Structure 1
Amino acid sequence: MHHHHHNTSHQGHLHGDHEGTDFSDSSRIGWAFWLNFVFTIIEFIGGWLTNSVAIMADAVHDLGDSLSIGLAWCLSKLGHKASTEKYTYGFKRLSLMGAMINGVILVIGAIWVLSEAIPRLSNPEMPMTEGMIGLAILGIMVNGFAAYKLHGGHSMNEKVLNWHLIEDTMGWVAVLVVAIVLHFVEWPILDPILSIGFTLFILVNVIRYVVQTMSLFLQAVPDIATRNAICRTLLAMEYVEEIHHVHFWSLDGQQHVLTAHVVISCALDNKTLRSLKEEVQMRLAPFGLTHTTIEFELPGEPCRDDSDHLHTHTHSHDHEHVEYR
């Protein structure tokens, strides 16, 4: 009545594709970490030499970035570990945890920058403009290159880190513009105005990513349209009468998991059932799901997950099931 099936060749194909993506993701984060860490040290020295409070503030902000990028790099590497008996889905969600921590650090950092910049509106100070210009050009090059390295990434981790680096690059563009203007005009209030402007812009985007990451942590549906398309695809098949207990969630924002109960309209012989299972696999292939568990139920058969005892255990895989990976 309930059948268990593994398509091993398809499983290997999917996992191979993901691993290539994951390792390049880790490599890009590694690049960003070392660039940011080395530049943070240069920044502290430069801020001290130019007597610029703005650059020192940015150095502290970059230090926070370096720490969070380092954390993301470690979590990304740990995420490649194979699944175990205890962690059956592997460790991909560590990368999601890294994205969450980084997002929170960046929000705190942005609030700190605002707390420094706003009081400076009433009491601006003139820094050493030549040194500021030199550091700003270097800052744009380093952070811009690091942001470019992460630009091709699709994971939540890389997206949050990308905003770290875009924030820093925009910050240095602001510093460069201010330094050039201050070199010719004594109008130091430009510095805090620009700082506040770009920080608020980044803050809005990062908060959006933090909310999105939190919803993935809570196993929310990663994309409603995709879930509905999957349901329509399965319901359009011959012999399929009803679908329920559809659970569609994501391990890390990229790799999605689907479980569903499919009610078939009549008892099927083995040959028809096998062809139905193959059609399920074929129809779900375009969605690129990492883990897929489908349970077939005969018409009139009580659903085990609808009983009072098991109602809260809708993710339970203790029973036999049809499984495609």
Structure 2
Amino acid sequence: MGHGHGLRRNLVFSVVLNLTMTIAEVIGGILSGSLALLSDSLHNFSDSMSLLASYFALKLGERRANEKYTFGYKRAEILVAFVNSAVLVGISLFLLVEAYRRFKNPQPIDTAIMLPVAVVGLVANLLSVLLLHGHAHGLNIRSAYLHLLSDTLSSVAVIIGGLLIRFYGVGWIDPLVTVFISLYILREAYVVLRESVEVLMEASPELDFEAIKAELESIPSVKNAHHFHAWRVGENGIHFECHLSVEDMLLSEAQRIIDEAEKRLKKFGITHVTVQLEVDRCASKDLVCEKE
């Protein structure tokens, strides 16, 4: 519980920090004319929203299962990870378009305003990254952490770009920095987006069904294992169901087979098992079995 409380406290602190920096960078970007600084402010705003969503997803995920949500609320964190990563993709594409426009129509940039604001933004983002670094394991927090990490790199790039503009007068470096930042964010966001979509679409986790079939059929009295389904409700737990064709036996013997199947499936990382036993219903030995 203490670990969860510390994470929620860090999330709230990071939200306040990023909202403050968003306002500062919007003002600084407008006054200085820096697209890179404005892009950084958009990242900070999306950081704030993603952190806020992650906070509420954590709170919701702690609620117990009930008659309506029999699996509980863990998938709320996957939904937030999906939204966070999708927003990152959208922002990155928008910034690429804006960078193209800025390449075509360069604008003067006031680095006296741009640089100090970017430095403060870097410090704020770096502090938020450090606060969440130890918690960036699940998809939900990892998606928010990626927001913060990308914004930290963005701040570094903005500062480097500002220095080059100030001392060498290369104004085109501002949209170029924006392009590199956006491409990096796109790559990182895609990984989280793909995995969250797989969970939401109930795609099978990476399991060796043939190995599982062989393992189950090695249980004494089991003639065939088929009708496999595997999915994830949240990020970690793997649910699995199957049918086992067995010899005619007493109910007490049947329970022994179910217990043994659950025990053996644990080695594959499966956390929740549903087994249906059958007698003389399967005409083949395939995974998908035709009834006799």
Task: Report the TM-score when normalising by structure 2.
Answer: 0.84
Residue identity matched to 2:188: N
Is 1:246 the equivalent of 2:228?
Answer: yes
Task: Tell me which of 89, 92, 104 is aligned to 1:110.
Answer: 92
Residue of structure 2 in register with 1:160 after alignment:
143
Is 1:284 the equivalent of 2:284?
Answer: no
- Identity level (%): 28
Q: Which sections of structure 2, spanning at least 5 residues, go unmatched?
A: none
Residue identity matched to 2:187: V
The DSSP-based 3-state class of the residue aligned with 2:228 is: strand
Residue of structure 1 in register with 2:187 after alignment:
204
Alignment of 1:1-325 (within 5 A): 26=8, 29-48=11-30, 50-151=32-133, 152-225=135-208, 227-267=209-249, 270=252, 272-300=253-281
The alpha carbon displacement at 1:259 in A equals 1.3
Task: Report the TM-score when normalising by structure 1.
Answer: 0.76
Task: Say if 1:29 and 1:158, in contact at 8 Å, map to a contact too.
Answer: no
CA–CA separation in structure 1 for the residues paired with 2:13 and 2:239:
30
The DSSP-based 3-state class of the residue aligned with 2:155 is: helix
Residue identity matched to 2:215: T
The DSSP-based 3-state class of the residue aligned with 1:293 is: strand
The alpha carbon displacement at 1:228 in A equals 4.8
Which moves more between the two structures, 121-130 or 87-96? 121-130
Where relative contact order (Cα < 8 A, 6+ residues apart) is larger, the structure is: 1
CA–CA separation in structure 1 for the residues paired with 2:157 and 2:87:
22
The alpha carbon displacement at 1:231 in A equals 3.5
Residue identity matched to 1:117: A
CA–CA separation in structure 2 for the residues paired with 1:61 and 1:269:
60
Q: Identify if the C-alpha distance between structure 1 residues 28 and 115 changes in structure 2 by more than 3 Å, giving closer, same or farther.
A: same
Q: How many residues align?
A: 286
Task: Say if 1:156 and 1:252, in contact at 8 Å, map to a contact too.
Answer: no
Q: Identify if the C-alpha distance between structure 1 residues 20 and 280 changes in structure 2 by more than 3 Å, giving closer, same or farther.
A: farther
CA–CA separation in structure 2 for the residues paired with 1:42 and 1:206:
25
Task: Say if 1:51 and 1:127, in contact at 8 Å, map to a contact too.
Answer: yes
The DSSP-based 3-state class of the residue aligned with 1:193 is: helix
The DSSP-based 3-state class of the residue aligned with 1:121 is: helix
Q: Deviations over 1:142-165 (max 9, x none)?
A: 223323444443322222222212
Residue identity matched to 1:180: L
Q: Identify if the C-alpha distance between structure 1 residues 39 and 234 changes in structure 2 by more than 3 Å, giving closer, same or farther.
A: farther
Q: Identify if the C-alpha distance between structure 1 residues 46 and 292 changes in structure 2 by more than 3 Å, giving closer, same or farther.
A: same
Task: Say if 1:57 and 1:113, in contact at 8 Å, map to a contact too.
Answer: yes
Backbone CA RMSD of aligned residues:
3.0
Residue identity matched to 1:204: R
CA–CA separation in structure 1 for the residues paired with 2:41 and 2:245:
60
The DSSP-based 3-state class of the residue aligned with 2:104 is: coil
CA–CA separation in structure 2 for the residues paired with 1:41 and 1:267:
71
Residue identity matched to 2:279: L
The alpha carbon displacement at 1:42 in A equals 3.0
CA–CA separation in structure 2 for the residues paired with 1:286 and 1:40:
47
CA–CA separation in structure 2 for the residues paired with 1:197 and 1:294:
51
The alpha carbon displacement at 1:300 in A equals 4.1
Task: Say if 1:174 and 1:191, in contact at 8 Å, map to a contact too.
Answer: no
Task: Say if 1:222 and 1:253, in contact at 8 Å, map to a contact too.
Answer: no
The DSSP-based 3-state class of the residue aligned with 2:54 is: helix
CA–CA separation in structure 2 for the residues paired with 1:284 and 1:148:
38
The alpha carbon displacement at 1:203 in A equals 0.9
The DSSP-based 3-state class of the residue aligned with 1:37 is: helix
